[in-house]
């Protein structure tokens, strides 16, 4: 009995991870049109993490970590096409879940 449940879970997880940003976010698909997503094709780990955080306030924390290079840290950065997709996804997320950004912003008030 347990093995059947485990097999179901494994199959479910495989299907879930096969889901691209293009397929899982219809607004993003509309923006892409006939183009492939650079994030889906060249930055699968980033795409997976965006999907994981989609619909949660942690999305903004993750996006910020992608885009901001902290002092003393060196990174190559993303090509323009990937940055455009990240910013498009951020804009879509803000439109779909405006309360999450406000909730996060209210917790990040800096004391004088």
Whole-angstrom Cα distance, residue 47 to residue 86? Answer: 9
pLDDT of residue 103: 74
- Model confidence, pTM: 0.74
**DSSP code per residue over 1-13:** -HHHHHHHHHHHH
The token duo for 67 is 């885009």
| pLDDT at residue 80 is higher than 90 | yes
30-72: pLDDT as tens digits: 999 999 999 999 999 999 999 999 999 999 999 999 988 777 6
Whole-angstrom Cα distance, residue 102 to residue 100? Answer: 5
Residues 38/66/95/91 CA torsion (nearest 10 deg): -60
């Amino acid at each position: 009995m347990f093995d059947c449940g485990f097999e179901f879970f494994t199959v479910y997880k495989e299907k879930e991870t096969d889901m691209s940003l293009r397929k899982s976010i219809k607004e993003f698909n509309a923006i892409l049109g006939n183009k492939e997503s650079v994030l889906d094709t060249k930055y699968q780990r980033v795409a997976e993490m965006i999907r994981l955080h989609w619909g949660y306030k942690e999305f903004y924390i993750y996006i910020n970590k992608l885009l901001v290079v902290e002092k003393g840290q060196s990174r190559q950065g993303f090509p323009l096409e990937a940055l455009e997709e990240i910013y498009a996804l951020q804009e879509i997320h803000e439109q779909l879940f405006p309360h999450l950004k406000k909730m996060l912003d209210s917790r990040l008030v800096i004391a004088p």
